């Protein structure tokens, strides 16, 4: 029987043409064939040479939810330092929230809030202290964020903007005291000028306490104005002024995240159009920042702003991943704690040019030369060098409406045109499937958006059952950023299900570019969203067991994935991956040359796996093995923070060996291929 090719050839009269045509057809077949090979390689099989995977895979998601910023990571100890709290934050809040008037020793005076001549128009409220009789001191007391924690021997930077409106200029005394008046430290600010001026003083605490209050008093009659009353520990993370809490900064840094997404979450697209996060309001001197309410039902001083986020990323060696709103507000605007929800609203199209310029200016702020308009502002804040921005997210879980799509496209096109090297991340709704997910993906592929942001908060079973989710994703469309995920709990069963899923994320690190657990931080007594990765109060930090899973995966990332290194067995019978309770992955880190095996046993029995490293040539038999495990389904808490944590020991291996994985455990074996 003649083949199609032969029949095709017969119709041609000329041998030369026939020869040429045959060559073309053979070439076509070769290309087709190699295409099939490529497809096989990309579908998670047959990686003899290893498959390149993202070197930015595991990072973190920071959002000011659960008091993550003010009262949390941001080291400011004074609550409502600028008297900007209002009932748009919370119905029982006002400019005096966390403050009270002090009248000691028969002092007589009043406090009121003024807005007529502020330090900066964007920071309108300040206090007028009217002292009729000084007594033993008239002034203000601040209770901090659930009290002010102090450490004996530590220094604290106090700062205030003040002016003497009338009366004799007299010293202001600042002191940190207990509830019954014990003074831990104090200092004096000499007489005040008639104009707004910033006064600073350093005080050393003589005690370690968790619930001090700050008092600022005068003993002379007169009228004073006060604003931006602030207290920071001198020791902050990396000793930054206006910096982060040292212990929280460190526990985040210990995750060694490859990137930090900020500032959210829903916070980005805000509660109504007036509440979009505007990065330009968050930079420059803190007294000039324009504060606003937080969609999670409290207040953002924005002392932790975009400069501080970029600097924090640099301090911890992570790439910055800012997210801006897609010029629409959150579809849930006007939620349970607000009256009269507005839902999703778009910035008027007539104002889109301005909004787009703000997004372009952000990229210039991060990367532009000091001679550029926004690069010079970065330099003014003390950072002339670029922050090396590579990624920007546009939108967060937005409803896929025509209003959203129109605005997204305008922003996306402008960024692509001006900054073609920046990787734009789009959004595909709040769930792992459904209408917004499908429409979002279709839109992403129409626009060739480089990466899209998937979110899912699902139960542990979902994570176990979805380990093949990315095996069949189209390799020629947009890549994936798993921007928010968590398995709805902080017990070991939750964490181990995340670990099992993460092996599959690593296996698919060619299509999944980035992944971050969410949310990151939660303060005791202010937790609106559970689970979270790290719990804290004013003095302690408790990394969850989920944190340790993230950490051991993050510090053990690679950039090439290898298949068929680990095979499964049980009582001597070799099993397929589907029959085994093991979830595994093998990567190599090209920087160190190390091979890293991740072996997750989600079963309640010991399970053995065969490991064959012959493909890698020479290996060092002295490996290390990190194990995270728990026999019972327990969790870490603030009162019991060390229930579960990883233990690393030396581990001797050979090129071919059997690893016995204990029940309900994550093992990470790190093997050197360089001999010294």
* Catalytic residue IDs: 397
For ligand AHR, the closer CB: 65 or 189: 65
For ligand AHR, the closer CB: 63 or 76: 63
Nearest to 497 by CA among 636, 603, 413, 421: 603
Q: Does the footprint of ligand AHR cover residue 271 (CB under 6 A)?
A: no
Q: Does the footprint of ligand AHR cover residue 65 (CB under 6 A)?
A: yes
Tell me how far, at minimum, the Cβ of 520 lies from ligand AHR, in Å: 9
Bond into 519 cis (ω within 30): yes
Residue from 218, 396, 494, 560 touching ligand AHR (CB under 6 A): that is: 396
Q: Which stretch, 200-208, 264-272, 438-446, 555-563, contacts ligand AHR (CB under 6 A)? A: 264-272
CB atoms within 10 A of CB 549: 27
Residue from 397, 453, 506, 510 touching ligand AHR (CB under 6 A): that is: 397
For ligand AHR, the closer CB: 266 or 664: 266
Tell me how far, at minimum, the Cβ of 550 lies from ligand AHR, in Å: 15
Q: Does the footprint of ligand AHR cover residue 430 (CB under 6 A)?
A: yes
CB 473 within 8 A of CB 499: no
For ligand AHR, the closer CB: 111 or 260: 260
Strands 183-189 and 172-177: antiparallel
Distance of CA 61 to the CA centre of its chain: 2
Binding mask 8-47 for ligand AHR (x = CB under 6 A): ----------------------------------------
Q: Does the footprint of ligand AHR cover residue 50 (CB under 6 A)?
A: no
Q: What is the DSSP letter of 123?
A: B
For ligand AHR, the closer CB: 161 or 517: 517
421 is written with which tokens? 């090297």
Residue from 266, 482, 493, 599 touching ligand AHR (CB under 6 A): that is: 266
For ligand AHR, the closer CB: 62 or 553: 62
Q: Which residues of 446-458 are buried (b: 16+ CB within 10 A; e: fewer)?
A: ebebbbbbbbbbb
3-state helix, strand, coil in the chain (%, to 5): 25, 30, 45
Tell me how far, at minimum, the Cβ of 128 lies from ligand AHR, in Å: 38
- Burial, 41: exposed, middle or buried (Cβ in 10 Å; 0-12, 13-18, 19+)? middle
For residue 146, give the 3-state DSSP assignment.
coil
Residue from 107, 137, 264, 272 touching ligand AHR (CB under 6 A): that is: 264
Secondary structure (H, E, C), 6-75: HHHHHCCCCHHHHHHHHHHHHHHHHHHHHHHHHHHHHCCCCCCCCEECCCCCEEEECCCCCCCCECCCEC
Nearest to 71 by CA among 304, 312, 322: 304
Nearest to 631 by CA among 499, 491, 503: 491
Tell me how far, at minimum, the Cβ of 529 lies from ligand AHR, in Å: 5
Residue from 233, 243, 257, 265 touching ligand AHR (CB under 6 A): that is: 265
Alpha-carbon gap, residue 361 to 396, rounded angstroms: 20
For ligand AHR, the closer CB: 264 or 320: 264
Nearest to 324 by CA among 307, 306, 312: 306
Q: Does the footprint of ligand AHR cover residue 243 (CB under 6 A)?
A: no
Tell me how far, at minimum, the Cβ of 641 lies from ligand AHR, in Å: 23
Q: Does the footprint of ligand AHR cover residue 518 (CB under 6 A)?
A: yes
Binding-site size, ligand AHR (CB under 6 A): 13
Nearest to 560 by CA among 464, 393, 673: 673
Which residue in the block uniquely carries the two structure tokens 């030396």?
650
Q: What are phi and psi of 51, to 5 degrees?
A: -115, 125
Q: What are phi and psi of 340, to 5 degrees?
A: 75, 65
For ligand AHR, the closer CB: 102 or 266: 266
Alpha-carbon gap, residue 600 to 665, rounded angstroms: 6
Q: Which stretch, 204-212, 259-267, 570-578, 668-676, contacts ligand AHR (CB under 6 A)? A: 259-267
Tell me how far, at minimum, the Cβ of 302 lies from ligand AHR, in Å: 17
Helix 246-253 to helix 306-316 angle, to the nearest 10 degrees?
A: 50
Tell me how far, at minimum, the Cβ of 261 lies from ligand AHR, in Å: 10
Q: Which stretch, 143-151, 262-270, 548-556, 585-593, contacts ligand AHR (CB under 6 A)? A: 262-270
Q: Which stretch, 169-177, 261-269, 338-346, 493-501, contacts ligand AHR (CB under 6 A)? A: 261-269
Site for ligand AHR in 453-472 (CB under 6 A): 455
Q: Does the footprint of ligand AHR cover residue 484 (CB under 6 A)?
A: yes
Cβ-proximal residue to ligand AHR, closest one: 265
Tell me how far, at minimum, the Cβ of 413 lies from ligand AHR, in Å: 24
For ligand AHR, the closer CB: 264 or 303: 264
Bridge partner list, 175: 186, 215
Q: Region of 594 please: left (phi>0), alpha (psi -120 to 50) or beta.
A: beta
For ligand AHR, the closer CB: 361 or 484: 484
CB 500 within 8 A of CB 464: yes
Q: Does the footprint of ligand AHR cover residue 63 (CB under 6 A)?
A: yes
Residue from 8, 199, 337, 529 touching ligand AHR (CB under 6 A): that is: 529
Which residue in the block uniquely carries the two structure tokens 């493909």?
615
Alpha-carbon gap, residue 407 to 413, rounded angstroms: 10
Tell me how far, at minimum, the Cβ of 66 lies from ligand AHR, in Å: 9
Alpha-carbon gap, residue 237 to 268, rounded angstroms: 25
Q: Does the footprint of ligand AHR cover residue 270 (CB under 6 A)?
A: no
Tell me how far, at minimum, the Cβ of 174 lies from ligand AHR, in Å: 37
Q: Which residues bind ligand AHR (CB under 6 A)?
A: 63, 65, 264-266, 396-397, 430, 455, 484, 518-519, 529
């Amino acid at each position: 029987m003649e083949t199609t090719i032969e029949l095709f050839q017969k119709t041609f009269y000329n041998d030369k043409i026939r020869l040429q045509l045959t060559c073309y057809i053979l070439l076509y077949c070769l290309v087709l064939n190699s295409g099939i090979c490529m497809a096989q390689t990309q579908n998670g099989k047959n990686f003899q040479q290893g498959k390149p995977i993202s070197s930015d895979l595991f990072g973190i998601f920071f959002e000011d939810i659960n008091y993550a910023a003010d009262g949390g990571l941001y080291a400011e100890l004074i609550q409502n330092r600028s008297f900007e709290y209002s009932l748009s934050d919370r119905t029982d809040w006002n400019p005096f929230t966390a403050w009270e008037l002090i009248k000691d020793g028969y002092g007589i005076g009043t406090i009121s809030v003024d807005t007529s001549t502020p330090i900066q128009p964007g920071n309108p409220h300040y206090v007028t202290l009217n002292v009729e009789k000084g007594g033993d001191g008239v002034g203000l007391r601040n209770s901090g964020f659930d009290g002010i924690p102090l450490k004996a021997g530590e220094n604290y930077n106090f700062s205030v903007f003040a002016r003497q409106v009338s009366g004799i200029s007299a010293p202001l005394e600042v002191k940190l005291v207990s509830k019954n008046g014990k003074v831990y430290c104090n200092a004096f600010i000499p007489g005040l000028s008639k104009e707004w001026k910033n006064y600073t003083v350093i005080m050393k605490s003589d005690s370690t306490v968790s619930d001090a209050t700050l008092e600022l008093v005068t003993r002379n009659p007169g009228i004073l104005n006060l604003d931006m009353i602030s207290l920071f520990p001198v020791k902050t993370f990396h000793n930054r002024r206006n910096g982060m809490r040292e212990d929280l900064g460190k526990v985040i840094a210990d995750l060694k995240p490859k990137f930090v997404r900020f500032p959210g979450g829903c916070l980005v697209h805000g509660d109504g159009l007036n509440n979009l996060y505007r990065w330009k309001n968050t930079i420059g001197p803190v007294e000039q920042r324009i504060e606003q309410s937080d969609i999670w039902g409290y207040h953002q001083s924005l002392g932790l702003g975009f400069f501080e986020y970029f600097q924090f990323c640099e301090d911890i060696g992570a790439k910055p991943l800012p997210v801006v709103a897609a010029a629409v507000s959150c579809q849930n605007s006007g939620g349970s704690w607000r009256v009269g929800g507005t839902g999703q609203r778009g910035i008027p199209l007539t104002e889109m040019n301005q909004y787009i310029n703000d997004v372009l200016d952000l990229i210039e702020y991060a990367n532009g030369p000091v001679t550029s308009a926004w690069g010079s502002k970065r330099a003014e804040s003390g950072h002339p060098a670029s922050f090396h921005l590579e990624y920007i997210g546009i939108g967060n879980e937005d409803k896929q409406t025509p209003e959203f799509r129109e605005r997204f496209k305008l922003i996306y096109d402008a960024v692509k045109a001006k900054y073609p090297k920046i990787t734009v991340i789009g959004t595909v709704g709040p769930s792992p499937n459904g209408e917004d997910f499908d429409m979002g993906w279709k839109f992403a592929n129409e626009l060739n958006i480089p990466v899209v942001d998937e979110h899912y908060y699902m139960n542990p079973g979902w994570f176990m059952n979805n380990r093949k989710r990315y095996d069949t994703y189209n390799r020629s469309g947009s890549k994936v950023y798993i921007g928010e995920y968590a398995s709805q709990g902080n017990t070991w069963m939750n964490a181990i299900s995340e670990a099992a899923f993460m092996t599959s994320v690593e296996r698919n690190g060619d299509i999944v570019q980035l992944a971050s657990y969410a949310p990151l931080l939660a303060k005791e007594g202010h937790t609106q969203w559970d689970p979270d990765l790290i719990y804290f109060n004013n003095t302690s930090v408790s990394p969850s067991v989920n944190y340790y899973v993230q950490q051991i995966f993050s510090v053990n990332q690679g950039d090439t994935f290898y298949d068929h290194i680990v095979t499964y067995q049980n009582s001597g019978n070799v099993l397929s991956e589907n029959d085994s309770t093991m979830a595994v992955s093998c990567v190599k880190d090209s920087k160190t040359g190390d091979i890293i095996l991740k072996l997750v046993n989600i079963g309640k029995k010991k399970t053995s796996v065969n490991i064959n490293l012959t493909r890698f040539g020479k290996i060092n038999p002295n490996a290390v093995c990190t194990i995270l495990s728990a026999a019972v389904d327990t969790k870490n808490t603030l009162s019991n923070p060390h229930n579960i944590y990883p233990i690393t020991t030396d581990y001797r291996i050979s090129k071919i060996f059997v690893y016995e994985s204990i029940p309900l455990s994550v093992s990470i074996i790190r093997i050197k291929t360089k001999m010294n």
